[in-house]
Structure 1
Amino acid sequence: MGPVLAMGLGLGLQLGVLGGALCGPHSLHYFNVVVSEPSPRVPEFVKVGYLDGTLISRYDSETGRTVPRADWMAANLDQQYWDIQTQISQNSHWVARVDLETVRSRAHTWQYMFGCDLLEDNSTRGYYQSAYDGRDFITFNMDTMTFTAADAAAQITKRQWEKDKTVAERWKNYLENTCIESLKEFVSYGQAVLERKERPTVRVSGKEGDGFLTLHCRAYGFYPRPISVSWLKDGEVRDHETERGGTVPNSDGTYYTWVSIEANPGEKDKYQCRVEHASLPEPQLYAWETESNLVAIVAGVAVAMAVTFLVVVAICRFIMWKLKSGKASGPVRQRGTDGGSDSSATGTVWGWTGRPQVSLLPHGTHSNPGLWEGGTETPQAEGWGEGGGPG
C-alpha cells in the first residue's frame, strides 16, 4: 500500500464523527473525466465533487490543485486535507491517462462516476459506473460484488477485475464506509445551506396548433432537488400522456423542471398542474390562465390605476383651488397696537412689526406639498481518501 493510499484511507476512516446523527436523503458524488487530446480550454483531466448537487471541490490538470468550491468546506477543512486530495487526484489522473494509452488513434474520452447516498430511512447505497466515448462501459453492483459490462470490449475489463477479488472488495469498502463517513461530515459543515427549503415558482402556459392544445407547466427556483410535477385531468393523474424534462440546476443553486401534455382545446379547463415539494405545506394546483382571462385581468388593473390617478388629480386640483381662493380673498387687516394705520398683506397676517406672524394655510398643512402627511452561482493503485475512491 503506497503512502498516498495510506493517507487517504487513514483520513477517510476518521470522517463522519460529527455527522453521525444526520438523516437522509443526502448524496456524495465524484465525477472524473480524461480526454486523449486536451486543449487550452479543455484540461486533460478534471475531477469534481458534489454534495447534494452542490459543487464542493474541483481539480484539473492545468492548475494541478484540488480546491474547495463551497465556503463551508473551505472553512472546516485545513490545508493538509486539500494537499492530500491533490495527491489523490493526481494519482487518479495518472491512472486515467494509462487507461487511454492503448487507444491513441483518435480522440477519446473516459468518464467515471462513483458515490454514495444516505436515504431517509438511514440506509445507504453506493455505486460506480464508467463510460467510454459517451457510451456505458462497466458498472459495479455492490450487493452482488460483481461488474456488469455494457459491450464486448468491456468484457475484458470485467474478467480482469473479477479475477482480482480485491478490486470489488476495495470498492465495497470505500462505498459502504469511507464514502458514507465523508458524506456525513460534509453535510454537518454545510447543513444550513443543504437543508434549506426554497419554494418553486410555477408558470402554466398553452399553445394551440393543428387542432391540439399543448399545455406546459414549468417549476423553477426550488430547493432541494426532489420534486413531483404532474398533469391532472378531472382530478386524475395523466402520467402516461405527460412528457417530462429533467430536473436541472440553475446557476444560483436552485433547480428547474417542466412537464407538458397535449389536450383537446375544448377541454382545457379540465387540466391542472400539481406540484409537490418539501417547501410546500401541501400539493399545489395550477391552471392555465387563457389569453382572454389575462386580458380581463390586465384591463381590470388598468381601470383601477386610471381611477386612482383621477382621484389623485382631483385632490390636487382641489388643494390648488383652496390656495388660490385664499389669496384672492383680499388683504386681512389687523390694527396695530399703537393705534396707527392698518397694515395689509396678501396670504398672511402682518403684525405691528411688519413681519408675517400667522399662516393662512389650513391647520396641519404646509406650503410645500412634498411635506404634507403621507408624502413620502479504473479503480487501481491510487489513493482512496474520502474524495479519491478506489478508482
Structure 2
Amino acid sequence: MGHTVLLLLLLLLSLGVCAVHCAGGHTLRFLITQILSPTPGLPIYTVYGYIDDFKCGKYNSDTRRVQALIPLNESLIAMPEDALTEHLETQTKFAQELEITERDKMEFIMGFLNKTYDNGGFPVYQRRFVCELNEDGTAGGYEEIAYNGKEIIALDKEKVVYVSVTQEALVMMDQWNKRFDDATDNKIYMENECIQQMKLYLHYLSAYMKRKVPPKVKVSSSESESGIKLHCWVYGFYPRDVEVKWIKNGRDEIYSEESAEILPNPDGTYQIRVSVEVTPEEGATYSCHVDHSSLENPLVVAFESSNRSMLYLLIGGTALLVLALFAQGIFIYKRRKSKGSESGQNRRNNMNLAQL
C-alpha cells in the first residue's frame, strides 16, 4: 500500500470509523478542503468523514487533532478509554502528515493553473474520496479533486490513472501522475481495505446504528396565492425511513404538489417538511400523520385552533372581499343606469328644443 493510501487508512481509523454494513447500500466519504491563507472562523485545512449523510469524524489545521463525532461509550464501542486515547494520538500524527501531502497537491495545481491569492482570487482545493458497499455485496467508489469549486481531476478506475475533467487541467496530468503515483494503491484501498474496515467496525457501532429515535413534529401555516399552505416539519428522527402525510377531516389524504426530501441533521438524525395548499373551508379539520419505526402507533398532530386563526382570518377576509366586490358591482351598475337615464332625458329635452 502506498504512502498516501496508508495515511488515508490511518485517518479513517482516527476518525472513529462509524461505518456499518446495513441492508442497503452504504457509503463512506472523506471530504478534504484546503484554502491558501487564514480566514476568520475557517481553518486552512479540514477533513470530514461521513457515513452516508452522517458526519462521523473531523480533523482541521487549527486543532491539529482528530476528533470522533459519535458517542464513544462502552455500550457502543468495545475499546477501553485509555486504548482509544492512545489510538487517536497515534492517528493524529498520520493525519498531520496527510495535511502536508494535500498542501503539496494544492501548490502543484496552483503552479500549473497560474492562479494565486495575489491576483485577487480565493483559491480553494477540495478532494472527495468515496468507497461504496453495494446492496449486492460488490464494492466501488470514486475520487475527484476540485479547484475553486470546479472539478478538474478524477480517478479513472478502468485505466487506473488520474485524468483531467477539464481542458484546463489537461496540461498537467502527465506530471501529476508521475509526482503523485498512487492511482493503483488508491483503487485497491477503495475496493478492498476500506470495505474491510467498514465490516470490521460493524460490531463496535451496530448498537448505535440500530438505535431508534422518535420524531418531533411541528405544524404551521403561511399564506399562498390560492389560499393557505400548511406545513408539517418532522425532525430529529432515526432511522431515515418515514411516512408523512396531511389528512383532511380525519379521513381524506391531501396530496402535495411539492416533492418532500428527507435531509440529514448534523447529529446523525433526519428531517423532512411536507407542505400542502388548501382552500379555506369553515369547519374543516387538518392533521399531520407521521409513521416511523420508532413509534408503536402513527403520530397525529392536529392543526390546532390557535393555529387556525390565520385560516379563519383568510375565510373571513375572503368573504369580505366577495361582499366588497358584490357591493362595488351594484354601485357601478346603478351609476351606469343613472347616467343612462340622465342621458335619455337630455336627448328628449334637446328634441323638444329643436321642435320649438
TM-score of the pair, normalised by structure 1: 0.57
Paired position in structure 2 for 1:289: 303
Paired position in structure 2 for 1:321: none
Letter in 1 for 2:195: I
User: 2: distance between equivalents of 1:30 and 1:112?
Assistant: 8
List runs of 5+ in structure 1 lacking aligned partners: 296-391
- Distance of aligned partners of 1:237 and 1:211 in 2 relative to their CA distance in 1, 3 Å threshold: closer
Paired position in structure 2 for 1:128: 143
State the shift of 1:242 in Å: 1.2
Matches within 5 A, 1:105-116: 105=119, 106-116=121-131
State the shift of 1:68 in Å: 3.7
User: 2: distance between equivalents of 1:262 and 1:130?
Assistant: 43
Matches within 5 A, 1:312-391: none
Matches within 5 A, 1:132-171: 132-140=147-155, 151-153=166-168, 169-171=184-186
Paired position in structure 1 for 2:318: none
**Contact kept in structure 1, 2:285 and 2:303, CA below 8 Å:** no
Letter in 2 for 1:43: P
User: 2: distance between equivalents of 1:210 and 1:14?
Assistant: 53
Paired position in structure 2 for 1:43: 43
State the shift of 1:224 in Å: 2.8
Task: Give yes or no for the alignment of 1:83 onto 2:113.
Answer: no
One of 241, 246, 265 as aligned partner of 1:249: 265
Task: Give yes or no for the alignment of 1:197 onto 2:212.
Answer: yes
Paired position in structure 1 for 2:346: none
Could you list the per-position Cα deviations for residues 18-77 of structure 1 after superposition, in whole angstroms to 9, with x for gaps in the alignment? x99954444322111111232253222111222354444322223334344445378465
Paired position in structure 2 for 1:184: 199
Deviates more, 1:90-99 or 1:158-167: 158-167
User: 2: distance between equivalents of 1:35 and 1:13?
Assistant: 22
**Contact kept in structure 2, 1:23 and 1:121, CA below 8 Å:** no
- Distance of aligned partners of 1:271 and 1:178 in 2 relative to their CA distance in 1, 3 Å threshold: farther
User: 2: distance between equivalents of 1:260 and 1:228?
Assistant: 13
- Distance of aligned partners of 1:287 and 1:81 in 2 relative to their CA distance in 1, 3 Å threshold: closer
**Contact kept in structure 2, 1:249 and 1:255, CA below 8 Å:** yes
One of 276, 279, 288 as aligned partner of 1:261: 276
Paired position in structure 2 for 1:363: none
**Contact kept in structure 1, 2:20 and 2:206, CA below 8 Å:** no
List runs of 5+ in structure 2 lacking aligned partners: 310-356
State the shift of 1:200 in Å: 1.1
Paired position in structure 1 for 2:106: 96
User: 2: distance between equivalents of 1:225 and 1:22?
Assistant: 15
One of 218, 222, 234 as aligned partner of 1:219: 234
Paired position in structure 2 for 1:312: none
**Aligned pair count?**
289
Task: Give yes or no for the alignment of 1:33 onto 2:33.
Answer: yes
**Contact kept in structure 2, 1:100 and 1:110, CA below 8 Å:** no
State the shift of 1:108 in Å: 1.8
Aligned to 2:168, the other structure's residue is in SS state helix
Aligned to 2:198, the other structure's residue is in SS state helix
**Contact kept in structure 1, 2:288 and 2:300, CA below 8 Å:** yes
- Distance of aligned partners of 1:23 and 1:256 in 2 relative to their CA distance in 1, 3 Å threshold: closer
**Contact kept in structure 2, 1:227 and 1:277, CA below 8 Å:** yes
User: 2: distance between equivalents of 1:222 and 1:21?
Assistant: 19
State the shift of 1:214 in Å: 0.9
State the shift of 1:110 in Å: 2.0
Structure of larger gyration radius:
1
State the shift of 1:125 in Å: 3.7
**Contact kept in structure 1, 2:153 and 2:165, CA below 8 Å:** yes
Could you list the per-position Cα deviations for residues 69-108 of structure 1 after superposition, in whole angstroms to 9, with x for gaps in the alignment? 4453784652434433332343233323433343102112
**Contact kept in structure 2, 1:203 and 1:217, CA below 8 Å:** yes
Question: RMSD of aligned C-alpha atoms?
Answer: 4.6
State the shift of 1:258 in Å: 1.2
Aligned to 1:64, the other structure's residue is in SS state coil
- Give the structure, 1 or 2, with the largest relative contact order (CA under 8 Å, sep 6 or more): 1
**Contact kept in structure 1, 2:64 and 2:92, CA below 8 Å:** no
User: 1: distance between equivalents of 2:48 and 2:12?
Assistant: 21
- Distance of aligned partners of 1:124 and 1:266 in 2 relative to their CA distance in 1, 3 Å threshold: farther
Paired position in structure 2 for 1:61: 61
- Distance of aligned partners of 1:10 and 1:200 in 2 relative to their CA distance in 1, 3 Å threshold: closer
User: 2: distance between equivalents of 1:45 and 1:103?
Assistant: 19
Deviates more, 1:212-221 or 1:123-132: 123-132
**Contact kept in structure 1, 2:9 and 2:194, CA below 8 Å:** no
User: 1: distance between equivalents of 2:203 and 2:133?
Assistant: 13
User: 2: distance between equivalents of 1:226 and 1:188?
Assistant: 23
